[in-house]
Amino acid sequence: MALPLHMLAGMIQKAPIVAAMLLAVLALAGGCRRSNAPLPQETATPVVPVSHPVQHDFTDYVEYTGRADAVQSVGIRARVTGYLTKAPFQEGAEVEKDDLLFEVDPRPYKAQFDQAVAQVSVNEASFKFSQASYNRAKEAFDKRAGSKQDVDQAKAAMDEASARIEGAKANVKLYQLNLDYTQVRSPIKGHVSRYYYTVGNLVNQDQTLLTTVVSVDPIYAYFDMDERTLLKIRDAINQGKIKPRGQGNEIPVLMGLENEDGYPHQGVLNFVNNIVNPSTGTIAIRGVFANPIPVPNGRRLLSPGMFVRIRLPIGQPHPALFVVDRALASDQGLKFVYVVGADNKIEYRRVKTGALSDDGLRVIEDGLKADDWVAVGSIQQLRAKMIVEPERTAMPTPGAPTPNRPAEESKAPAPPKK
């Protein structure tokens, strides 16, 4: 049914009022809901583990890699020509000095030796005859029955026979040497290699390499030192911080093998080269180490050519501060730590780091004091001037879990106010 015109006009006039009332009701309901929502909680102050730097005496050092080498290394060559008849040594074994390694067929040299000995006898008989002739000529001359020329000729013949004896004796020595050289012996005590030539082969004098022998105790270790460290050591010597090598003073050097932890082998420095390699900026250094047989029927640890790790102490022990490596961070290549101040604020502290000690802690050469509280955990979440709740702990050792417990698990007191 259609509405009258006057009623329709009245509803149109009241529509804005109704809409306004509806909007007011909706706004009131929304405000009530917001007022009942929980307020956001304030963020808890983070707990950060902190530790004092560890302090104890420390000797500075540098580390290098190097190679072991034999003190003596000899190539065994035949000193006479001939055919090999014996090779009595065991390949790869240790031999003593003068042990028989090879034998060249001695028969030709024995015949030459016997011939030389016989020649000495011939010359001695000739000398006796010349001596008797000289005595008769001299006796006749004394009785005015002979001439002076006869005496001189007899004397010259006797002297010639005497000289032939000496020459024959020299030949005996030569052939004796050649006969001795048919037995090829080790000139040193050491470790022998394999047969390069076996029995029946022809070997040539002073040319054919039969095997090699290297000494094994003691043994050398060569390494290359950089120019900067070389200058540092020389400056320390000039300042009296390091005693120079020689004059009864030995510079210790430590060595470790590939399968060993640390540097258990101790030796001494015994050679520094006379020039720096201009291509690499390094200088050759050598240490010498004992290489005994550790147990009966055991084996020596070191062999020439082995890879070795070298640690060279520099200077005398001195007090130093140490922190764990995980407390350090880098800023464009520069190392820094976070230190918690007296007001519990994080302080950015740039430091100069040194070598790694045997307990795995890093030397701090500059930038820290012994009473500083260094953050040792949650490093990535820290920022300068951040307020934290410090938790005092002992300086952790490498391999230990990072101390980073929530605040409700530990409420250690903060460092005292200064």
Q: Which residues contact 313 (CB under 8 A, 6 or more apart)?
A: 59, 60, 61, 252, 253, 254
Distance CA 169, CA 137 (A): 28
Local structure of 272: helix, strand or coil: strand
Q: Of 29-38, 128-137, 402-411, which gets the smallest average pLDDT?
A: 402-411
On whether residue 190 sits in a domain, the answer given is no
Pairing of strands 47-51, 389-392: parallel
Distance CA 101, CA 96 (A): 10
Sheet holding 94-95, edge to edge: 73-77, 209-214, 190-192, 94-95
| Parent domain of 343 | 48-56+320-409
Q: Is residue 402 over pLDDT 90?
A: no
| Contact of 353 with 343, CB cutoff 8 Å | no
* 289, two tokens: 């180490």
What's the mean per-residue pLDDT of the chain? 82
On whether residue 92 sits in a domain, the answer given is no
On whether residue 231 sits in a domain, the answer given is no
| Contact of 158 with 134, CB cutoff 8 Å | yes
pLDDT computed for residue 266 by the predictor: 92
pLDDT computed for residue 192 by the predictor: 94
The distance from CA 286 to its chain's CA centroid, rounded to whole angstroms, is: 10
- Which pTM was predicted? 0.69
Give buried/exposed letters for 221-230 (b at 16+ CB in 10 A, else e): bbbbbeeebb
Q: What is the pLDDT of residues 49-77, one digit of tens each?
A: 999 999 988 888 889 999 999 999 999 99
At 360, which CATH number? 2.40.420.20
On whether residue 387 sits in a domain, the answer given is yes
> How many structural domains does the chain have?
1
On whether residue 341 sits in a domain, the answer given is yes
pLDDT computed for residue 260 by the predictor: 87
On whether residue 405 sits in a domain, the answer given is yes
On whether residue 288 sits in a domain, the answer given is no
Local structure of 88: helix, strand or coil: coil
pLDDT computed for residue 406 by the predictor: 39
Quick one: pLDDT band at residue 384, thresholds 50, 70, 90?
Answer: confident
DSSP for 133-179, please give it: HHHHHHHHHHTTSS-HHHHHHHHHHHHHHHHHHHHHHHHHHHHHHHH
| Contact of 319 with 64, CB cutoff 8 Å | no
Q: What is the pLDDT of residues 97-128, one digit of tens each?
A: 999 999 999 999 999 999 999 988 888 888 88
Q: How many CB atoms lie within 10 A of CB 44?
A: 10
The distance from CA 404 to its chain's CA centroid, rounded to whole angstroms, is: 38
On whether residue 220 sits in a domain, the answer given is no
Q: What is the pLDDT of residues 156-174, one digit of tens each?
A: 888 888 888 888 889 899 9
Nearest to 340 by CA among 387, 381, 379: 387
